[in-house]
Amino acid sequence: MSQKKSSSLSRGQLLLMSSAVSATAANLFYNQPILPQIGEDLSLTSDQLGAVLASGQIGYAAALLFLSPLGDTMPRRNIITILSILLVASSLLASNSANFYVLLAACFMVGLSANITQQLIPFAASLSSPETKARVIGTIMTGLTIGILLSRTISGFVGEQLGWRAVFIMSALLASVFGGLLFAFLPKNLPENKMPYFKLVLSMGSLIVKHATLRQATLTGGFWFAAFNALWATLALHVHEAPFGYNSQQAGLFGVVALAGVVGAKIAGVWNHKVGSRNMINIALVLIAVGFFVSGVFGESLIGLIVGIILIDLGVFISQVSNQVRVFSIDPAAQSRINAVYMLGYYLGAALGSYIGVMMFDMYGWYGVALFSGVMILLSFATNNLVGRYQSKEGA
């Protein structure tokens, strides 16, 4: 084992960790429904808006590579406290941005400090017993799902009522509250791994080489998350135009529709052990593909968008839970690093999808976004199956 369990995980701690994951993950998506407001206020081009979206995802990916591994060697409560302070500062900087470059840097730092989420997930898993691990991970992932989906609704409402800068002020306040609560109530774990930092980071490369399941899960998830973020990065832009003409608050309400993802997470938790991770992911990818077809063909219809989003989010969170089940089954002694590798690929896919999605929308409209997303889902399906034929049974 890589660390001693200094404490078991109480219900109160699990609720706090799940809520903190929800609030922290939301920071990566707050700027999507308020994108038109940001663009108008700061006079940004489509390229710049795409870069703003991608910068948060790139910051998150950088933290996965350089900060997440620290959870195997340092007390995670200390790491979470430092990141909470950084999240407050970067959110306040974003709220006071006067130009593109300041906002770009601030969003990068917000993404970097949102690594709190990826410290809490393996922390919760390490504090749970084998009998409760599935329930604990399921609870944490439900919090993550709710945070990702409702972030757009909350952001759209606050942005429309108080302006886009108020969204980042809200983020700073939430980070302050949860940072204090986590410091007060989380146990201080004592990792046994004393590996030097640079060796720790470099060891992630050997984990990629060693575990075929990790390579497959990372690529499969990265492709579908690119498609998912292409959709959400451009949805507010799409419905801002005719025939909808929605404001930021109305665009954010699509996040309520997307709560179908919570149902998806529950379905995966029940059926994954019966069907198997790879088969469950295949089913989910078919749902996502159908969702993009419906939302693309019927993209100028509110009903078409709603049906498409429900199918997409249902499929994405079924596949996410199933993918993480096999990732967390690989090597408990390297949990933080394995999770970092997986989520690094996941959020690099998100950055790619956000940036290219905005570019496709600018050049080809909503149909271009749907086409790009469809290609990403095909690549995900191929990776999940063709690559899987040649790998070991590990985690399959």
pLDDT at 144 over 80: yes
pLDDT value for 360: 96
Residue 378 Cα distances to 72, 170, 299, 373, angstroms: 35, 38, 20, 9
Is residue 52 domain-resident?
Answer: yes
Q: Is the dihedral of CA 291, 294, 296, 300 positive or negative?
A: negative
Residue type, 363: M
What are 114's two structure tokens? Answer: 């949102």
Handedness of CA 235, 240, 245, 251 (dihedral sign): positive
**1 assigned to some structural domain:** no
* Torsion sign over Cα 358, 360, 366, 372: negative
Q: How many residues belong to the chain?
A: 396
* Ranges 9-18, 60-69, 319-328: which has the least confidence: 319-328
| Residue 200, token pair as written in the block | 């720790």
| Average of per-residue pLDDT across 56-80 | 90
Specify if 126 maps to a domain. Answer: yes
Q: What's the average model confidence in pLDDT over 18-36?
A: 93
Structure confidence at residue 294 as a pLDDT band (50, 70, 90): very high
Q: Which of 39-48, 51-60, 127-136, 329-338 has the lowest mean pLDDT?
A: 127-136
User: Does residue 134 register a pLDDT over 70?
Assistant: no
Q: What is the pLDDT of residue 300?
A: 93
Q: According to the 3-state scheme, what is the secondary structure of the chain?
A: CCEECCCCCCHHHHHHHHHHHHHHHHHHCCCCCCHHHHHHHHCCCHHHHHHHHHHHHHHHHHHHHHCHHHHHCCCHHHHHHHHHHHHHHHHHHHHCCCCHHHHHHHHHHHHHHCCHHHHHHHHHHHCCCCCCHHHHHHHHHHHHHHHHHHHHHHHHHHHHHHCHHHHHHHHHHHHHHHHHHHHHHCCCCEECCCCCHHHHHHHHHHHHHHCHHHHHHHHHHHHHHHHHHHHHHHHHHHHHCCCCCCCHHHHHCHHHHCCHHHHHHHHHHHHHHHHCHHHHHHHHHHHHHHHHHHHHHCCCCHHHHHHHHHHHHHHHHHHHHHHHHHHCCCCHHHHHHHHHHHHHHHHHHHHHHHHHHHHHHHHHHHHHHHHHHHHHHHHHHHHHHHHHHHCCCCCC
Residue 1: the pLDDT is 40
Residue 2 located in a structural domain: no
Range of the domain at 177: 7-390
- Is 392:212 a contact under the CB 8 Å cutoff? yes
pLDDT of residue 277: 84
**Residue 131's pLDDT band (boundaries 50, 70, 90)?**
low
Ranking 185-194, 268-277, 346-355 by mean pLDDT, the lowest is: 268-277
More confident residue, 370 or 10: 370
pLDDT in tens, 334-367: 878 898 899 888 888 988 999 999 999 999 999 9
Q: What is the pLDDT of residue 4?
A: 45
Please indicate, yes or no, if residue 45 is contained in any of the structural domains.
Answer: yes
Q: What is the CATH number of the domain that holds 38?
A: 1.20.1250.20
* Residue 355, in any domain of the structure: yes
Write down the pLDDT at residue 396: 53
Q: Is the pLDDT of residue 5 over 70?
A: no
User: How many CB atoms sit inside 10 A of residue 362's CB?
Assistant: 16
pLDDT at 343: 86
CA 186 to chain centre: 23
Helix axis angle, 212-240 to 35-42, nearest 10°: 70
Mean pLDDT on 217-236: 94
Q: What is the pLDDT of residue 89?
A: 98
| 252 in a structural domain | yes
- pLDDT of residue 394 exceeding 70, the answer is no
**Of the listed ranges 183-187, 330-334, 344-348, the one predicted with least confidence:** 330-334
- Given a cut of 80, whether residue 156 has pLDDT beyond it is yes
Classify residue 369: in a domain, yes or no.
Answer: yes
Cα 91 to Cα 114: distance, rounded to the nearest angstrom? 11
Structural domains in the chain (count): 1
Q: Can you give the pLDDT at residue 292?
A: 97
